[in-house]
Amino acid sequence: MNTATFAAGATAPSLAETSDDALFRKITWRLLPLLFACYVLNYLDRTNIGYAQLQMKDQLSFSDTVFGLGAGIFFIGYAVFEIPSNLMLAKIGVRATLLRIMGLWGLTSAAMMFATTPTHFYVLRFLLGVFEAGFAPGILFYLTLWFPAGRRAKATALFFMGPAAAPLFAGPLAGIVMTSLDGAYGLAGWQWLFLVEGVPSVVLGVAVFFLLSNTPADAPWLNDIEKQRVRHLLEHDLAAHGSHERQTIASALRDGRVWLLGFISFLVILGVYAMAFWQPTMLKGMGLTVLQVGFYSMVPALAGIAAMIIIGGHSDRQGERRWHFAITACVGALGLSLTTLFMKSPVPAVACLALAAIGISSAFTILWTVPGILLSKKAAAAGIALISTIGGCAGLVAPLVVGAIKTATGGFTLSLYLLSGALVLAAVLMLVGLRLHSKPG
């Protein structure tokens, strides 16, 4: 790769495209595996109570409502500190931000092993939300500093493979730890789970500080020509959306499209977190053991990962977001609705949950490529944080509402129908609400 190659971009597009592909493969392999690992641990530490509750609810005498509130209260702290955390990231960079976030959330997650009362449970979950605030939207903002819009969906999909892949580790790990270590050194299996999954976040946070670069200009592993090419492509994005030059943080927060995307995110995340927290209980209710629940949970996770990569890549190639989102959201709704037909049959139920994961994971990935198109770099940090904050409120609502409905009705059927309706509404809002404002991604 040399200066002549980049200079020839206007007259030799195929050569320039090949050079750009190599450049962004290099960037992807440097950044995404590490960010992926961070997101896996993030997802494990915020959702491991979905598995821990299979033991701790009985041992600590927590009702479904207590557990649902404890699961959801995390998002109060998360929502309150989301925007301040992201604004701080824009000033101090991702390295220092991730060191702070991951170190504190890892220690708090491990401290969950000491919870013995609902109050302990609520306080630690709230603090976990405070310390995790800004992680995912911060990384989404970080990706806008490295990837032009036309390559962002695939990069976003690779990042979001973290929470999609986490059940591959979460289920078997939880099953093995909670059964094999139960009673070891006087600790219950659920206590060991919090400890085993909390400490690695602290270690990885330190590694991130030394391995990541805040911007392409700071990256010692890119040469000057590569840095110049990345800067040129990102500036070309700004030129293609000239109004973004004048966009400020305040105007982004006044932009109705930002609030609409936040509500759409809320509707999708209802399904994401309802399944994260209650799927283990649902599967156990079908007669599976804790260990079987862990391994059955791998099937929807694998389906979601494959769909994110394939559909995210297709969305990039087509330069289209709205219909990709709407169709996959409806597929997710169909999968959740069909699950209600097999509440006593694990194999077909898991197949339906896999269909739901295909739709929800893909829709969630594509959704997060849209803010980078609508917002300038100056406004992106606050805008993405606002969208994430609104969407994150679903993390409070979903576990609590599903838990309350389960307590009232004795099952998950009504909840699955409500979550399906939310996904269909999200699809309609994306098609109609952004119809006049969308631009090719």
Q: What is the mean pLDDT of residues 74-81?
A: 80
Mean pLDDT in the chain? 82
Domains and CATH numbers, the chain: 14-433 (1.20.1250.20)
pLDDT for 242 equals 46
Q: What is the pLDDT of residue 205?
A: 93
Average pLDDT over residues 232-239: 79
Distance CA 36, CA 308 (A): 14
Instruction: Give the pLDDT mean for 157-173.
Output: 77
DSSP string, 284-302: HTTT--HHHHHHHTHHHHH
84-120 confidence digits (pLDDT tens): 887 787 778 888 999 999 999 999 999 999 998 999 9
The predicted structure's pLDDT at residue 1: 41
The whole-number pLDDT of residue 54 equals 83
Question: Can you give the chain as a three-state secondary structure string?
Answer: CCHHHHHHHHCCHHHHHHHHHHHHHHHHHHHHHHHHHHHHHHHHHHHCHHHHHHHHHHHHCCCHHHHHHHHHHHHHHHHHHHHHHHHHHHHHCHHHHHHHHHHHHHHHHHHHHHCCCHHHHHHHHHHHHHHHCCHHHHHHHHHHCCCCHHHHHHHHHHHHHHHHHHHHHHHHHHHHHHHHCCCHHHCCHHHHHHHHHHHHHHHHHHHHHHHCCCCHHHCCCCCHHHHHHHHHHHHHHHHHCHHHHHCCHHHHHHCHHHHHHHHHHHHHHHHHHHHHHHHHHHHHCCCCCHHHHHHHCHHHHHHHHHHHHHHHHHHHHHCCCHHHHHHHHHHHHHHHHHHHHHCCCHHHHHHHHHHHHHHHHHHHHHHCCHHHHHCCHHHHHHHHHHHHHHHHHHHHHHHHHHHHHHHHHCCCHHHHHHHHHHHHHHHHHHHHHCCCCCCCC
Average pLDDT over residues 412-432: 91
Which pLDDT does position 343 carry in this prediction?
83
Residue 9 pLDDT: 41
Identify which has the larger pLDDT, 379 or 235.
235
pLDDT digits (tens, 9 = 90+) for 297-353: 788 888 888 888 888 888 878 878 889 999 999 999 999 999 888 888 888 989 999
- Kindly state the percentage of the chain with pLDDT values over 70: 88
More confident of the two residues 434 and 327: 327
Over residues 264-291, the pLDDT tens digits come to 999 998 887 777 777 787 888 888 877 7
In this predicted model, what pLDDT tens digit does every residue of 129-164 receive, in sequence order?
899 888 887 888 888 889 987 787 778 778 877 776
Task: Report pLDDT for 290.
Answer: 74
Query: Is the pLDDT confidence value at 365 over 80?
Result: yes
pLDDT at 14 over 50: no
Range name among 20-29, 129-138, 236-245 with the lowest pLDDT average: 236-245
Asked if the model's pLDDT at residue 169 lies above 60, the reply is: yes
Looking at the predicted structure, is the pLDDT value of residue 378 above 50? yes
Higher pLDDT, 258 or 107: 107
Residue 411 pLDDT exceeds 90: no
Nearest CA to 425 out of 277, 260, 314 is that of 260
Q: For the residues 241-259, what does the mean pLDDT come to?
A: 62
Q: Is the pLDDT score of 383 beyond 80?
A: no
pLDDT surpassing 60 at residue 243: no
